[in-house]
Structure 1
Amino acid sequence: MTLPTSIAPALAGALTARGYETLTPVQLAVLAPEAEGADLLVSAQTGSGKTVAFGMAIAPTLLEGGDHLGEARKPLALVIAPTRELALQVQRELAWLYADAGARIVSNVGGMDIRTERRALANGAHIVVGTPGRLRDHITKGALDISELKAVVLDEADEMLDLGFREDLEFILAASPEERRTLMFSATVPKAIAQLATTYQRDALRLSVAGEKEQHGDIEYKLVTVPAHDRENAIINTLLYFDAPNAIIFCHTRESVKHLTARLLNRGFAVVALSGELTQAERTNALQSMRDGRARVCVATDVAARGIDIPNLDLVIHADIPGNPDTLLHRSGRTGRAGRKGTCVLIVPQHRRGAVQRVLKLARLEASNMQAPTSAQIEARYRQSILDDAALSAPADEDIAAFATELLGRYTPEQIAAAYLRVQLAARPVPEEVDDIPVPAQSFKKDRPERGAPSERMTGGVWFKLSLGRKQRADPRWLLPMICKAGGVEKASVGSIKIQDTETHFEIAANKADAYLAHLASHGTGERNVTIQPLSGGPSSSAPKWEKRKKPRGDRFEPMAAFAPAPEELPAPAAKKPKAKSKPFNKDKGKPDFKAKKARAAAAAAGQDVGERPFKPKRKKPGFDPAA
C-alpha cells in the first residue's frame, strides 16, 4: 500500500525513508478532506501514532503550499505536552518528520537550563514544543513571541488537566492569535476537555478513532497470584521467563522504585530508574539508555512515565496494583503501540486478588491466570534459546574456521560444547524460588465459602502461640495479617485466635501446619522481638462469661445459681442510715421570696405606699471582718 497523496511532499519523503508503508487510523483520519484547515478534537488510544498524525495535520498550514519553511524567526506552531519526557519525545519525532522541510524545532521544558532555551528562541524557531509551565514563563518574560502562531497542538490534553495545568493552558491559548488552528489530542474526552474545546476552538471537527472495545487489543494480560513475600521473586522470574528486549516495571512510590532497582541490579539486570526525584538530565539519560540498548529494564512511577515511548517495549509489569482503571490503561499502554504486540503482567499478592479483579472489570479488560514462572521453566527456556541461537548456524570465516580446527584438535567436541554451555548459562541471571500456589479460578466468588456456613477446614487444627498479648495491646485486626504473613497462609487457614495477658494462641488448619512451620523456620516472623512456636497441650481456656459480669441480672441467669455461694454464707447487708429530713425554707437567711417581691412591685405600680423594704444583711463568711 502506498502513502496517501494528501500528505505534504516534504513530509512524504521522510515517511518513506522511515519505512512507513501504511498509516494508522488516527493518521488517516486527520488527512481526510473535511479535516483540512479545521480545528480538530481527536480521541485515540495511547500508542496510535498521534505525534506523526498532528505533524502531518499542521503541515499544510505551516508550509502554505511550499516545500520549505524558510528562515526561522517567530514560531509558527506551538505543541504543548504534559511532561518533559513526552515533550522531548515529540521534538525528536517532529525533527525527522520535518527534516526535508528545513524546520527548526526548539524545546522549552522544566528542569532544563532556561538561559539555553532563551538563546535558542532568540535564534528563531519554526515549531516550539514544551510543557505548560515553562512555556507560560517564557511568554510572560518576553522570551517567547507567539504573535505569529498559525497552529497550536495540545497533546494528551486530558493528562494536562489531570496534572493541574488548566490555568496555564488557558493563559497560553488566550495569548495566541485568534486566527490560529487549534488541535486537541486526547485519549478520552471528559467534560473538562469538551468545555476547553468549546471555549478555544472554532467549530472543531470531532474525530473518535479507537472505540472502547478495541482498546489495548494488541496487549495480552496475565494475572500472576503469589504470596506477598514472593512478590519480588515473581517479578525477577517474570523478566527472565519472557526475556523481552525492553521491559518496564511500575511501582507506586519513589522508595519502591529505588528498592526494586537496587534488587534487580544485584541480580545482574541492566536496569534504570525513572521517578520524580531525579533531575531532568538523569531522566533523559535513563530513557536514552533504554533506547540505545545499554539498559533493558526500567523501574518507574506513574507520573514519571506518563507518555513516554520506548522502542521494542514488549513487556509491562505491575509490581504494585493500579488503584483505578485509568492508571491500569495508562501503564499498560506503554506496550502494544502502533500495531506491535505486547504483554502486560500483574503481580498480585493473594490477599489483593479481589481488588485487581475489580480494576480489570472497570477497565473492561480480561486477564488470563498463570503460575509464577518456576526455575525449571526458566532454565528450559535458557536451553532452548541456546539451541536456537543464530550464531551456531552462521558460516564461519577463514580465521574462525582455522581456530575452530585447532580447538577440535586439542579438545573433544563434548568438552568444547560443555565450555560453551557454561559460559552461556553463567551470563544469565539465576531464577528465584517462588512458592507454588494453585492458579485461582477466573471467578473468585465461587471459591469463597458462603457466609455463615460451617467451616470444615479446622478439623484437628494445630495450635501455636505468639509472644504478644493484652499487655502489648494485641488486637485481632493486626494480629491476623501478621499471622498470615509469618506463615505464608491465607486467612481461611487461620481458625480461632485467643488473646491472653502476655501471649496469643491461634489455630492453623491441620493440612497447613507443616508448611506453616517450614515457612517460619526459613523466613521468621518478619517482626522484631516477636516469636511464634507450636503450643503443646492446646490453648488455655478463657474465663466463663458469667465471671466477667459484675453482678447477676435477676432470675434470667439460672446457671449462675450453681456457682453462687449459699444464701446463708452471704454477709448480712448493713443497716441504712435514715435519710435526714429537708429543712424548711427560711426566709430570714437571705433567701429571696419571689412571690412577696412580685406583690410589692404590683402594689407600687398601683400607687400604694409599700414603705421601705427592711434591710437584711447577708450572711458573713467565716473570718470576714466588715471593719477591715
Structure 2
Amino acid sequence: MTDFDLAAPLAAALAAKGYGSLTSVQQAVLAPEASGRDMLVSAQTGSGKTVAFGLAIAGDILDGDRLPETALPQALAIAPTRELALQVARELDWLYADAGAQIATCVGGMDYRTERRALARGAQIVVGTPGRLRDHLERGSLDLSALRACVLDEADEMLDLGFREDLEFILQSAPEGRRTLMFSATVPPAIAKLATEFQRDALRIVATGEARQHGDIAYRALSVTTRDRENAIFNLLRFHEAQTAIVFCKTRANVNHLLARMGNRGFKAVALSGELSQQERTHALQALRDGRARVCIATDVAARGIDLPGLELVIHADLPTNSETLLHRSGRTGRAGAKGVSALIVTPADYKKAQRLLQGAKVEAEWGKAPSADEVRAKDDARVLEHPVLTAESGDEMDTAALLLERFGAEGVAAAFVRLWREGRPVPEELAETPAPGAPPAPRERGEFGAAVWFALNVGHTGRAEARWLLPKICETGGITRDAIGAIRVRQDETFVQIAAALASRFGEQVELEPGLSMRRLSGEPVLDRPERSARAYEPRQNRKSASPVGTDARPRWTPTRDEQPEASTRPAGVRAEGSYADAGAPAARAKHQPRDGGYGSAEEAAGKPAKAPAKRPKTAPRSAEEGTAPRKPRAAKAGSPAGKAPGKAAPKAGRAKFGPGASEKPRWPAKSPKR
C-alpha cells in the first residue's frame, strides 16, 4: 500500500483490518490513468470490489482528510439487493469512520420514516437499492444536486432484476458533472449500452484473473442418485464441518423443504428467500455471524453479494441456470485469501448440464462421489484426536479426572468422551452406489448400442406403461444415465428393456423399481416378433393386382362371390345401405362422396368403362306426359282452416295433437324425402 497515495484515515482503517497489500482490482482503480475518470470495472466476486470503489471515490468526496459538513449527499452507491446494500454500508462505514462519514441507507423493507430522518440530518454517503432510492427522489426526501460520485455495484444483476428504468431515473436526477463508476462481474451488451449512455470516456478495467479459475476455490462435482440428493448434502456438511456453509436452491419452496429436513436432522440452519421480511433476513444473517447457525439455505437473489465470516463451503443443491450464476454462488467462499470449496450435486439427468456450466465458467472441477457414511465417521474419528481439549494444559479438573479413571477405567472414560463427541452431531446417511462420471460418453452410431442385457418389467400396455415414464425410474434405481439404456419395447402385459452389459450388474437378478413394479433379468433375448394379423376375407393384394384389366388405369376392384357375401342386413326390406348389401343381397349404390379410384365400384368402372352420370331429379315432377314440366297446382285449403293460413297446408285435425297425450300413433312422415 505504500506505492499508492491514500488519505491517512483510509490507510489507518485498512491497516486496522489487516490489509497488508491491495488486491488487483483495488490497485487498478488507484492507478494514475484512472484518476478522476469514469470507470467500467469487471472483476470476479470476492476480489474486494467494495473496498475498491470506496478507495476510488475518496479523491472526489474528501476535503483533505475529512468529509465536508454538508446536508446533501456527496456519494451514492446503488446495489441490487437489501443484503448487499447493507453490506456495502458496513464496509464503507469502517473505511470512512476516521474521516467523520455519516452514512444513510435506503433499502426496501425498512422503515421509510427512519430513512427520511437520516437523510434530513445530513449524510455524505447514501447506499440503497434502486426502487427505494427512486421512491425518495420522487417524494423529495433525497436531493442529488450536490452529488460528486455515483457507484453501481453488481450492475449486471440490477439489469437482470428489471431495475433499468429505476437506474435511468436516478442517473438522470444526478448532475452531469458527476463521476460514474460501474462494477460488474461480467459486462454483457446491456451493461455496455448503459455505460455509453451515462458515462463519459469511461476507462475499461478488467481485473487480473477474471478469465481464470479462482485459485482459492476448489470446485467439486459429486455424482449422486436422485433419491440420495438430500442425503448427499447432509453427508457433505458433516464431512467438512465448515464454520459456515451456504446451500443454494432454485426456488423458495425448495428452500423451505430443505430447511425442514435439516431441522429434523439436527443441523443449525437458517433460510434466506424473497418471501421473508427484512427483519427476518437480518436476524438470519446475524445468527450466522454470531455462530448460532452454521448453515444458510438461500435462493440466488437473496444471497446475492452477501459476505459471511468463515464461509468455507458452498453447495449447489440445484444447479444454477448459467455459468455466471455459478461463479457468483461460488464467490461467496474463498474471499480475502481464505480457502473454500464449491460442490455441485449432480444427478444422472444433470451430467451434461453440469459439464456445460463448468465449461462456460472456465473452471475445472474434480468429479467424484459424495462422502459415504463410513467416510464421515472416519473424519469424525480424526477430529476427535485433534480436539484442542486433549492438548490443553490441565487445571483444577484433575481431581475429577482421577475419580473417573478410578471408577470407570481409562477405556470407559475414553469411550464416554467419544459418545459425547458424536451425540450432538447428525448421523451420517447411507448412500447408494453411483457411477463416477468423467468425460461425456463417445457418440455411437445410430442404431448401434453394443453389448447389452435384456430385462423384463411386469407392466405393459394394460398398465398404461410408457417409455418416458419408465426411463427415469430405471435410471434412478440403478444410478445410470439414459445413455446406458438401449431399446424399450412395451408389449401387452410386460415391457422389455435393454441395459448396457457393463452396468447390468447394478440391477442384479431382480429389482423393485417401486412398490408393485419390478424388473427381472432375462437369460437371453426376448421374443419381440409382432403377432400375426388375422386372415383377410378377400384375396391378397398381389392376386388382386393380377386381375386388373389390361390397358386400364383403374385400380382392381373386389367382386365378392356368393359364398363371400356378408350376412343379410337387419335393415327393413327395401331400405338400401350405402357400402353394404340389402337383405336381397344386391350390391348397394356407391355413395356420392366415395372416390372413383378406390372402394367398391360398379361393373362399368371395374371394366374400365366410363360410368354413366346419374339422372338428376327435376325440381318439379310432372303428373303425366301432357302436363310436361308445369308445376303442380297448390291444394285448396280445407274447410275450417284458419284465416291467413298458407295454401296447400292442411290444418291439424281437431282433438289430435302432434306430440304428447292424444298424439297420433302413426308418425307423420314428410311428403318428400330430404335431399342427400
From 579, 584, 587, give the equivalent of 1:576: 587
Aligned mates of 1:220, 1:415 — CA distance in 2: 41
**1:525 counterpart residue number:** 514
Unaligned runs of 5+ in 2: 546-559, 567-584, 590-601, 603-610, 622-628, 638-644, 650-676
Q: Does 1:261 align with 2:252?
A: no
Tell me by how many angstroms 1:462 deviates: 4.2
Which residue matches 1:367?
A: 365
**Structure-1-length-normalised TM-score:** 0.84
The equivalent residue for 2:43 is 44
Q: Which of 420, 423, 426 is residue 420 of structure 2 equivalent to?
A: 423
Distance 2:500 2:136 in 1: 68
The residue type equivalent to 2:447 in the other structure is G
Question: Secondary structure at the residue paired with 2:452?
Answer: coil
Q: Which of 270, 274, 288 is 1:272 aligned to?
A: 270
Answer whether contact 2:510 2:518 (CA < 8 A) is retained.
no
Query: After the TM superposition, which of the residue ranges 119-128 and 47-56 deviates more from structure 2?
Result: 119-128
Deviations 1:409-432 (A, max 9, x none): 444222221211111122222111
1:34 Cα deviation from its structure 2 partner: 2.1
Structure 1 CA distance, aligned partners of 2:109 and 2:632? Answer: 82
1:453 to 420, 425, 448: 448
Structure 2 counterparts to residues 154-173 of structure 1, below 5 A: 154-173=152-171
Measured in 2, the distance between the counterparts of 1:53 and 1:616 equals: 107
The answer to whether 1:479 aligns with 2:490 is no
Q: Structure 1 residues 419, 433: CA separation in 2 closer, same or farther (over 3 Å shift)?
A: same
Deviation per residue, 1:266-291 (Å, 9 max, x gap): 11111111111111111111112112
Q: How many pairs were matched up?
A: 582
The question of whether the paired residues in 1 share the 8 Å contact of 2:222 and 2:343 is answered with yes
Per the alignment, residue 435 of structure 1 pairs with 432
Distance 1:622 1:462, change over 3 A: farther
Normalized against structure 2, the TM-score is what?
Answer: 0.78
Q: Distance in 2 between matches of 1:15 and 1:309?
A: 18
CA 1:453 to 1:107, structure 2 compared with 1: closer, same or farther past 3 Å? same
Query: What secondary structure sits across from 1:64 in the alignment?
Result: coil
Pair 1:19-2:15 in alignment: no
SS in 1 for 2:97: coil
CA distance in 2, matches of 1:156, 1:324: 16
Aligned residue runs from structure 1 range 127-526, under 5 A: 127-397=125-395, 399-441=396-438, 443-446=439-442, 450-458=445-453, 461-466=454-459, 469-470=460-461, 473-485=464-476, 490-491=481-482, 497-500=488-491, 504=495, 516=507, 525=514
Q: Which structure is larger by alpha-carbon Rg, 1 or 2?
A: 2
8 Å CA contact 2:212–2:362 kept in 1: the answer is no
Which residue number corresponds to residue 97 of structure 1? Answer: 95
Q: Partner amino acid for 2:587?
A: K
Report the equivalent of 2:9: 10
Identify the match of residue 554 of structure 1 among 541, 546, 555: 541
SS at match of 1:100: helix
Moved more, 541-550 or 102-111: 541-550
What secondary structure sits across from 1:379 in the alignment?
helix
Larger displacement relative to structure 2 (538-547 or 108-117)? 538-547
Q: Which amino acid aligns with 1:35?
A: A
Matched residues in 2 for 1:569 and 1:616: separation? Answer: 47
Q: 1:534 to 1:137 in 2, by over 3 A?
A: same
Give the deviation of 1:245 after TM superposition.
Answer: 1.4
Distance change >3 Å, CA 215–CA 488, structure 1 → 2: closer
Deviations 1:89-135 (A, max 9, x none): 00111111111111111110111111221122122211110000100
Corresponding residue for 1:68? 66
Q: Which amino acid aligns with 1:403?
A: T
The residue identity in structure 2 corresponding to 1:385 is R
Task: Answer whether contact 2:435 2:480 (CA < 8 A) is retained.
Answer: no
Q: Secondary structure at the match of 1:41?
A: strand
Equivalents in 2 of 1:548, 1:120: separation in Å? 93
Q: CA RMSD in A?
A: 3.5
Question: Taking structure 1 as reference, are residues 244 and 449 closer, same or farther at Cα in structure 2, changes over 3 Å only?
Answer: farther
Q: CA deviation at 1:218?
A: 2.1
Counterparts in 2 of 1:480 and 1:99: CA distance versus 1, 3 Å: same
Q: Which has the higher contact order (CA 8 A, sep 6+)?
A: 1
Quote the Cα distance in structure 2 between the aligned partners of 1:292 and 1:41. 36
* Equivalent in the alignment of 1:108: 106
CA contact (8 A) 2:120 2:141 kept: yes
- 1:618, 1:183 → 2: CA distance? 99
Aligned to 1:562: none
Q: Secondary structure at the match of 2:218?
A: strand
User: Which digits, 9 at most, give the CA deviation of each residue in 1:546-580, with x for residues without a partner?
Assistant: 4499988723999xxxxxxxx99961586535779
Q: Are the counterparts in 2 of residues 72 and 104 from structure 1 also a CA contact under 8 Å? A: no
Greater CA drift, 69-78 or 348-357: 69-78
Aligned 8 A contact 1:351 1:490 in 2: yes
Distance in 1 (CA, whole Å) between partners of 2:331 and 2:636 is 88
Report the CA distance shift for 1:72/1:549 in structure 2 as closer, same or farther (over 3 A): farther
Q: 1:483 to 1:413 in 2, by over 3 A?
A: closer
Work out the CA distance in 2 between the residues paired with 1:252 and 1:513: 34
Shift of 1:340: 2.1
| Distance of 2:544 and 2:494 partners within structure 1 | 32
* Cα offset, 1:472, TM superposition: 5.4
Supply the distance in 1 between the matched residues of 2:476 and 2:520 (Cα, whole angstroms).
Answer: 17
**Residue identity in the other structure for 1:9:** A
Query: Could you tell me which amino acid in structure 2 is paired with residue 430 of structure 1?
Result: V
Q: Is the 8 A contact 1:84 1:131 kept in 2?
A: yes
Does the 8 Å contact 1:463/1:507 carry over to 2? no
**Alpha-carbon distance change, 622 to 331 in structure 1, aligned in 2, over 3 angstroms:** farther
Question: Aligned pair in 2 of structure 1 residues 19, 488: CA closer, same or farther (>3 Å)?
Answer: closer
Report SS of the residue matched to 1:285. helix
Unmatched 5+ residue regions in structure 1? 559-566, 591-614
3-state SS, counterpart of residue 6 of structure 1:
coil
Deviations 1:262-315 (A, max 9, x none): 111111111111111111111111112112211111111111111111121111
**Aligned partner letter, 1:452:** G
- Identity among equivalent positions (%) equals 52
1:506, distance to aligned residue in structure 2 (A): 5.1
User: Which structure has the highest helix share of the two?
Assistant: 1
Mapped to 2, the partners of 1:55 and 1:549 lie a distance apart of 89
Separation in structure 2 between the aligned mates of residue 57 and residue 535 of structure 1, nearest angstrom: 69
Contact 2:320 2:326 in 1 (8 A): yes
Q: Residue type of the partner of 1:455?
A: G
Confirm or deny: 8 A CA contact 1:75 1:126 kept in the other structure: yes
Alpha-carbon distance in 2 for matches of 1:224, 1:218: 19
Cα distance in structure 1, aligned partners of 2:544 and 2:19: 88
C-alpha change, 1:79 and 1:551, in structure 2 (3 Å) is: farther
